[in-house]
Structure 1
């Protein structure tokens, strides 16, 4: 019996993978009670995996993929400080995220983890794997926010958010827009084809965005994250994330979407050359969150990576 069927047998409901919430707990890390979700149904003796969301995301971005892999890895996904249900504690940049993730890994397991990162979480995962190769068994990067010479219109919006004084003005004006309009724009920003999103996943995504509007720390966390990404793009070559990429020792899976409006998929060739041992999965119809939009393809590619 597969996980979806067994889940239905226990609960009496058939809930699409992307709309299922994993059990959550609080873990004290770096001075904040980090909300961490654990993939249900995974055996305790499976190798550990850590799923890292992107700017403005949360642990819920990994629901589908984690459940598909619960026979292979024992996954956990945090809401990083300032996002999801974890309050902001200090700055919310790439380096600060790396510090939090290292402490979480060391607290939760004595084995290297299979590390998954999306967008800004991908940038943080690259920095972590370069700094602490002993903690990472494999690295799966989905639309990682690595420095890119070409800027999309959406990426320029994030650059505006990162600009001192201007960032808060942009976010304040955006928040004053009707929620339905913001919701449609958010769907269009992250999904290759918003029409393909199931009604259940759409409802879960909408509920999370409505809840996020009530977070007092949300705006500051978004500004901090956008500034950190911009700084990484402008860093001198010797301190670039591309240098970190070249230092990564573990096998790497790179995943890019042809309809990604935030990360230009044309960077994928450079990315594959930059890592020592990298495979590439290009999904022409996917947007910025392939783990949500095409989880089965990501699942198959990961199984091949570690097989």
Structure 2
């Protein structure tokens, strides 16, 4: 039986953002499931649907979708960007086989507002009541902050695949001291599975300095740093090498499950 993998996308993305990664994992025997976050399917009223949703809405819907699949083996969770934060929250609840965090957003308690992050979100942060609206970066802004590190001839197609994101979710991550609902909180002690964390030296949305602080919350974490890559590790020039390395890291944990099943 193939190992189930649940891939959780980040801000402005949809399930389609995982096409490259799924194309690498599926031939290696993984059962890939890439749900779109709540109200992230492309539609004419998508901005209206998503604007008032928050991290708790996303996490609850993801948990429901995973439960509905009735996996016979604990799934592997892979999260990118904001999806990395949601994956951490889910890992504290559903006990996955392993947790893979690709340039992940950090949970409550870690200051994420570095100069590059402030510059990335400035068009919305200073627009007034941004947490009540949906937002999508302009093309040039996405090129500078999200797609740096991806060949420029692919930027337009990547941009056309993006959807609007909830200002509330961005507020909960970046302005967590003001979020008394603690929507971005993660109980790291409840994440007991192996953890693999990827950071990148040219990441302007989840900078390596922030990701390193996150990694310190997980004593069991294996860290991989790419000095020359940007944020969009799910579909750049080194995606295939990265995913092959992750598969190699996963294999001993998968074998442990197989041996336990054989002796039970």
Fold match (TM-score > 0.5):
yes
Aligned in 2, Cα 1:234/1:257: closer, same or farther, shift over 3 Å?
A: farther
Residue 266 in 1 paired to residue 202 in 2?
no
Which residue among 187, 209, 222 is the counterpart of 2:143? Answer: 187
- CA shift digits 1:207-239 (9 cap, x unpaired): 324xx4xxxxx3xx4212212213546568xx6
Cα deviation code 1:256-278 (max 9, x no counterpart): 11100011202343333211421
Residues 161 and 170, structure 1, Cα contact 8 Å, conserved in 2: no
Output the CA distance in 1 between the equivalents of 2:177 and 2:229: 24
Report what 1:13 is aligned to.
none
Partner deviation per Cα, 1:88-130 (whole Å, 9 max, x = no partner) = 3784222211111111111013232111111111111101111
CA contact (8 A) 1:163 1:227 kept: no
Deviating 4+ runs (over 6 angstroms): 168-172
Aligned to 2:29: 72
Find the partner of 2:57 among 84, 96, 101: 96
- The match for 1:222 is 166
Please show how residues 145-160 of structure 1 align to structure 2 within 5 Å.
Answer: 145-147=105-107, 148-149=110-111, 151-156=113-118, 157-158=120-121
TM-score scaled by structure 2?
Answer: 0.78
State the match for 2:93 in structure 1.
131
- Choose from 113, 119, 123 the match for 2:75: 113
Unaligned runs of 5+ in 2: 252-264
Q: Which residue of 1 aligns with 2:235?
A: 292
Q: Which residue of 2 aligns with 1:4?
A: none
Deviations along 1:270-300, whole A, 9 cap, x unmatched? 3332114211111111111212122113212
**2:160 counterpart (193, 207, 219):** 207
Q: CA RMSD in A?
A: 3.0
Is contact 1:143–1:263 with CA below 8 Å preserved after alignment?
Answer: yes
Structure 1 unpaired stretches of 5+: 1-44, 176-181, 213-217
SS of the equivalent of 2:92 reads helix
Q: Alpha-carbon deviation of 1:80?
A: 0.9
Q: Find the residue that maps to 1:78 and give its secondary structure.
A: coil
TM superposition score normalised by structure 1: 0.68
Secondary structure of the 1:274 match is coil
**1:42-98 CA distances to partner (integer Å, 9 max, x unpaired)?**
xxx311111111111111221111111112311011221232337537842222111
Q: Is the 8 Å Cα contact of residues 149 and 232 (structure 2) preserved in structure 1?
A: no
The answer to whether the Cα contact below 8 Å between 1:262 and 1:288 also exists between their aligned partners in 2 is: yes
- How many residues get paired? 240
